[in-house]
A and B are shown apart, each in its own frame.
Chain A
Amino acid sequence: MAIVVGAPTYVLAAGAHDVQAADTPARTTWDSVFTAEQAARGQAAYGRTCSRCHQPALGGADQSPPLTGGGFLSSWNGQTLGDLHDRVRSSMPTDDPGIYSRQDVADVIAYVLSFNGYPSGTSELPVDDGALRAIVWASSKP
């Protein structure tokens, strides 16, 4: 057996981060954009509906992608929370999309952020589209 090791390697450059500097709004998901209380509300909402498919530990299942881990973080890295809010609100749950309020979706996003290690703060994640689009998901801490 030959384990091919000729694949490219990377020397990681100091100062590199994921979000494109030129497009970076003032805030990222590292800037304490939700509260612990909101995340707790989101956890309860997640447990009522989302977890039946995405599983209690957000790990996903055969038909439902994980909401934690590398693939999930990569998918949303550099995207705004407005994009994520739109996606969840318009497509979930698959059997009755559109039933969640903007507040419900924001709360669940707060829980997902919390679960993935982002810090909470003193202000809740807003429900206003413009405000959500001013916050960028950054998978690595800038």
Chain B
Amino acid sequence: MHTSVCRALGLVVACHISAFPQSMHAQQSAAKVRASTAPTAPPFSTKSGEWPSHTGDTRGSRYAPLEQITAANFGTLEVAWRFKTDALGPRPEFKLEGTPLMVGGMLFATAGTRRAVVALDATTGELLWVHSENEGERGAASPRPLSGRGLAYWTDGKQSRIIYITPGYRLVALDARTGARVLSFGDSGAVDLKQNMDLPILPDLVTGEIGYQGAPLVARNVVVVGAAFREGGAPKSYRNNKGDIRGFDVRTGKRLWTFHTIPRKGEPGYDTWLQRSADTAGNTGVWTQITADEELGLVYLPIESPTGDYYGGHRPGNNLYGESLVCLDLQTGVKKWHYQLVHHPIWDFDLAAAPILADITVDGRAIKSVAVPTKQGILYVFDRVSGKPVWPINEQPVEAGDVPGEWYAPTQPIPTKPKPFARNGVMLDDIIDYTPALKEAGLAIASKFKLGPVFTPPIVSKTGGPLATLSQGPTNGGANWAGGSYDPDSHMLYISASNYSPSPLGLVAPAAGTSDMAWVRGIAPPPAGSPRFGGLLVQGLPLLKPPYGTISAINLDNGEFVWQVPHGETPDVVRNHEALKGMTIPRTGQPGYVGTLVTKTLVIAGDPEVTTVAPRPRGAMLRAYDKTSGKEVGAVPMPAPQSGSPLTYTVNGRQYVVVAVSGGPYSGEYIAFRLPAGSTK
């Protein structure tokens, strides 16, 4: 029946298991799971062993006060179950980034190249139901394809729903027990997010560029939906669809409010777009996770760059609310306050990580704060009620560039505390120096670039050099979507950093007919007969010094670091390099997106790269650190890198840790770990 309804709507499919003969068994299994596990009554929380929201709660915490898995036994963890996602779409996926939810013994996740939703028995991984929508050309045209990062759970105690966003940008509500669409929500269970906009999505609903791969936020009875676009280094046009953020009624799917991330004429902030460029600029959405304080009724939007990640000459001015943290009223969408972290964004410093809500005590004063980890390795901390910085943030003069047509902000806001948790510029002192010869080779490569601290602007790439500004952060640096964690008991914030991702920010004129932008990201071709730019490796080694990846613990009561450790095995290419034979190299860590999980005693995170370290097989390690000291206390192998942030939960008295792995030749898989039977009290 459900399938026929979908066909009537023009959708090709919707296969959820209950449409097939075996559905009876599947539904009985689901019911059995729910009946056998406690608690099953809301409000669900990580305190009771559930994981009911993408980050555990709606506050970005990624924290659960569970304590069965400890420093003493982490190394004995064994695989409880594995769930391979290959068949959930027309081809396998190699980039599984989801964090599932767990409520009432059922685990809910997005998976596969069609972004199916699956419900699994949380103790065995057995498939209970699957819901998948084939969106055809519209799905294929998505700027944010593949399995996405997760979904949301809602219940009023009588009914329970799974809410997710398809690659084709539809907001879908499913019955959490069966996977069937909730027909009373939106239009037969779905809201077309390309409609319900204040401006039409161009050029049409099928190919119009907008989407979202994050988990929608459900707070109170409001669904808050992000908006995302294609990579913005070389957009086809400086005109694009706008990334308005919207709230919907979780019961009906009715749109409650819209926030214009690019102010319309007559709205505050419009004047920060000179030459009326707010009328033409687009993007400026939120592609990462949105968080909310349900008690205060406030929602926090981490907003990305406007159109043109590295060139803003078509949008002179500071460009509110580009790269700003914006606080809205959850129920109405009315802006409470904002703080722009980067004026006139030209570094692609999107606010990429979920804002973390932290109740802290600074100099004896209780503060409800919000902390924003960023690509530029800076943690910005605000009073989340007033929007005022917890520690002073100074407007500091920054270098003006000389790209023709560009408009430069003369200052940028730099916090006085905490100090940066990641390298965020590239200076001569950052260049590799394992040996004098490697240093010399590294300096030779660096000489082709303009170096400088954070906020050194992009340059026009020149054949004779410099080729680009060599920056650290815009591409894969600092903190990104995988986000940080917060311990509400100790007031410690934990954040991983990708500390090695040098990004050449060069600009070139676009190839004829490819864009109406004056400049797009690129590298000038070499002189005739000369070798082309060959990357940023020094005899295969990273151009910059280690550590390449870290995890930091920052006390938010005083803004001080408590510990920082390199995270991740030393890469094979370093351990086995000919030029480093006989040298003793401390663990370097690895660059990459690594989400952390905090429990009662541990910080848990997986390696972002595979290594081959005898005697274990090729793979990556899931590691645990003592959260008070940073000392590694245990590790277990995984077949591939951590590619989604882990979660933890308890069912039937046993604690589980589940993590998504994938990458390179290894297709997506969720793996659940738990202690061996009989080892728990």
Complex: A73 Cα to B590 Cα, angstroms: 12
- Choose among A57, A70, A79, A87 the residue that contacts B523 (Cβ–Cβ < 8 A): A57
Q: Cβ of B94 and Cβ of A73 under 8 Å apart?
A: no
Tell me the residues in window 542-585 of chain B with beta carbons closer than 8 Å to chain A beta carbons: 542, 548, 560-566, 570-578, 580-585
- Does A53 touch B at the CB level, under 8 Å? yes
- Does A32 touch B at the CB level, under 8 Å? no
- Interface mask (A1-45 → B, CB under 8 Å = 1, otherwise 0): 111111111111110111010000000000000000000000100
Q: Cβ of B664 and Cβ of A62 under 8 Å apart?
A: no
- Does A121 touch B at the CB level, under 8 Å? no
- Interface mask (A85-121 → B, CB under 8 Å = 1, otherwise 0): 0010011001111000000000000000011110000
Q: Cβ of B145 and Cβ of A95 under 8 Å apart?
A: yes
- Does A126 touch B at the CB level, under 8 Å? no
Known interface pairs A18-B612, A90-B91. Does A117 touch B576 (Cβ–Cβ under 8 Å)? no
- Does B243 touch A at the CB level, under 8 Å? no
Interface size for B (C-beta < 8 A) is 85
- Choose among B145, B213, B522 the residue that contacts A56 (Cβ–Cβ < 8 A): B522
Complex: A91 Cα to B572 Cα, angstroms: 26
Complex: A6 Cα to B566 Cα, angstroms: 10
Q: Cβ of A1 and Cβ of B578 under 8 Å apart?
A: no
Inside 8 A of A63's CB, which chain B residues have their CB? 144, 213, 231
Known interface pairs A1-B561, A58-B535, A116-B537. Does A75 touch B522 (Cβ–Cβ under 8 Å)? no
Residue of A with least CB distance to B232: A61
- Choose among B475, B561, B573 the residue that contacts A73 (Cβ–Cβ < 8 A): B573
- Choose among A4, A61, A75 the residue that contacts B565 (Cβ–Cβ < 8 A): A4
Known interface pairs A5-B586, A74-B610, A76-B665. Does A12 touch B537 (Cβ–Cβ under 8 Å)? no
Report the stretch among B62-70, B215-223, B244-252, B627-635 that lies at the interface: B627-635
Inside 8 A of B608's CB, which chain A residues have their CB? 71
- Does A123 touch B at the CB level, under 8 Å? no
- Does B447 touch A at the CB level, under 8 Å? no
- Choose among A2, A97, A139 the residue that contacts B629 (Cβ–Cβ < 8 A): A2
- Does B536 touch A at the CB level, under 8 Å? yes
Complex: A115 Cα to B532 Cα, angstroms: 9
- Does A84 touch B at the CB level, under 8 Å? yes
Q: How far is the CB of B515 from chain A (nearest CB, A)?
A: 11
Tell me the residues in window 96-150 of chain B with beta carbons closer than 8 Å to chain A beta carbons: 140-142, 144-146
- Does B649 touch A at the CB level, under 8 Å? no
Q: Cβ of A76 and Cβ of B542 under 8 Å apart?
A: no
Complex: A68 Cα to B523 Cα, angstroms: 16
- Does B609 touch A at the CB level, under 8 Å? yes
Q: Cβ of A9 and Cβ of B584 under 8 Å apart?
A: yes
- Choose among A14, A59, A79, A140 the residue that contacts B573 (Cβ–Cβ < 8 A): A140
Known interface pairs A4-B631, A9-B586, A76-B665. Does A71 touch B145 (Cβ–Cβ under 8 Å)? no
Q: Cβ of B609 and Cβ of A117 under 8 Å apart?
A: no
- Interface mask (B443-473 → A, CB under 8 Å = 1, otherwise 0): 0000000000000000000000000100000
Tell me the residues in window 400-432 of chain B with beta carbons closer than 8 Å to chain A beta carbons: none
Q: How far is the CB of A137 from chain B (nearest CB, A)?
A: 10
Residue of B with least CB distance to A70: B571
Q: Cβ of A94 and Cβ of B591 under 8 Å apart?
A: no
Q: How far is the CB of A13 from chain B (nearest CB, A)?
A: 7
Complex: A96 Cα to B573 Cα, angstroms: 33
Q: Cβ of B665 and Cβ of A75 under 8 Å apart?
A: yes
Q: Cβ of A66 and Cβ of B476 under 8 Å apart?
A: yes
Q: How far is the CB of A113 from chain B (nearest CB, A)?
A: 11
Residue of A with least CB distance to B91: A90
Complex: A8 Cα to B376 Cα, angstroms: 28
Known interface pairs A9-B587, A77-B572, A140-B576. Does A55 touch B665 (Cβ–Cβ under 8 Å)? no
- Does B529 touch A at the CB level, under 8 Å? no
Report the stretch among B33-41, B74-82, B360-368, B499-507 that lies at the interface: B499-507
Complex: A94 Cα to B148 Cα, angstroms: 13
Q: How far is the CB of A67 from chain B (nearest CB, A)?
A: 9
Complex: A100 Cα to B94 Cα, angstroms: 18
Residue of A with least CB distance to B236: A52
Inside 8 A of B563's CB, which chain A residues have their CB? 1-4
- Interface mask (B185-207 → A, CB under 8 Å = 1, otherwise 0): 00000000000000000000000
Inside 8 A of B590's CB, which chain A residues have their CB? 70-71, 74
Q: How far is the CB of B353 from chain A (nearest CB, A)?
A: 11
Residue of B with least CB distance to A36: B531
Q: Cβ of B350 and Cβ of A62 under 8 Å apart?
A: yes
Inside 8 A of A90's CB, which chain B residues have their CB? 91-92
- Interface mask (B506-527 → A, CB under 8 Å = 1, otherwise 0): 1000000000000001110000
Complex: A17 Cα to B571 Cα, angstroms: 12
- Does B382 touch A at the CB level, under 8 Å? no
Q: Cβ of B534 and Cβ of A115 under 8 Å apart?
A: yes
- Choose among B475, B591, B612 the residue that contacts A55 (Cβ–Cβ < 8 A): B475
Q: Cβ of A139 and Cβ of B233 under 8 Å apart?
A: no
Q: Cβ of A10 and Cβ of B585 under 8 Å apart?
A: yes
Inside 8 A of A78's CB, which chain B residues have their CB? 612, 618
Known interface pairs A18-B612, A52-B230. Does A62 touch B572 (Cβ–Cβ under 8 Å)? no
Known interface pairs A59-B503, A60-B475. Does A16 touch B562 (Cβ–Cβ under 8 Å)? no
Q: How far is the CB of A110 from chain B (nearest CB, A)?
A: 13
Residue of B with least CB distance to A66: B476
Q: How far is the CB of A88 from chain B (nearest CB, A)?
A: 10
Complex: A96 Cα to B91 Cα, angstroms: 12
Residue of A with least CB distance to B573: A139
Inside 8 A of A4's CB, which chain B residues have their CB? 563-565, 629-631
Q: Cβ of B535 and Cβ of A57 under 8 Å apart?
A: yes
Q: Cβ of B523 and Cβ of A56 under 8 Å apart?
A: yes
- Choose among A6, A52, A66, A140 the residue that contacts B540 (Cβ–Cβ < 8 A): A140
- Does A83 touch B at the CB level, under 8 Å? yes
Complex: A1 Cα to B550 Cα, angstroms: 14
Residue of B with least CB distance to A75: B664
Q: How far is the CB of A72 from chain B (nearest CB, A)?
A: 8
Complex: A16 Cα to B144 Cα, angstroms: 41
Tell me the residues in window 625-681 of chain B with beta carbons closer than 8 Å to chain A beta carbons: 629-632, 641, 663-665
Complex: A132 Cα to B594 Cα, angstroms: 32
Q: Cβ of A18 and Cβ of B476 under 8 Å apart?
A: no
Inside 8 A of B231's CB, which chain A residues have their CB? 52-53, 55, 61-64
Q: Cβ of A52 and Cβ of B234 under 8 Å apart?
A: yes
Inside 8 A of A53's CB, which chain B residues have their CB? 230-231
Inside 8 A of B542's CB, which chain A residues have their CB? 69-70
Q: Cβ of B631 and Cβ of A62 under 8 Å apart?
A: no
Inside 8 A of A14's CB, which chain B residues have their CB? 581-582
Q: How far is the CB of A91 from chain B (nearest CB, A)?
A: 6
- Choose among A10, A96, A97, A117 the residue that contacts B575 (Cβ–Cβ < 8 A): A10
- Interface mask (B584-601 → A, CB under 8 Å = 1, otherwise 0): 111100111000000000
CB pairs A–B below 8 angstroms (8 shown): A1-B560, A10-B584, A12-B580, A18-B576, A20-B612, A55-B233, A59-B501, A116-B540
- B residues adjacent to A (C-beta < 8 A): 91-95, 140-142, 144-146, 213, 230-231, 233-234, 287, 348, 350, 352, 468, 475-476, 480-481, 500-504, 506, 521-523, 532-537, 539-540, 542, 548, 560-566, 570-578, 580-587, 590-592, 608-612, 618, 629-632, 641, 663-665
Told that A60-B475, A62-B287, A71-B609 touch, could you supply 13 new A-B pairs with CB distance under 8 A?
A: A2-B563, A16-B576, A18-B576, A18-B612, A51-B234, A56-B521, A57-B503, A69-B501, A77-B610, A77-B612, A79-B665, A97-B91, A117-B537
Which 4 residue pairs are nearest across A and B when measured between Cβ atoms? A75-B664, A1-B561, A7-B587, A74-B609
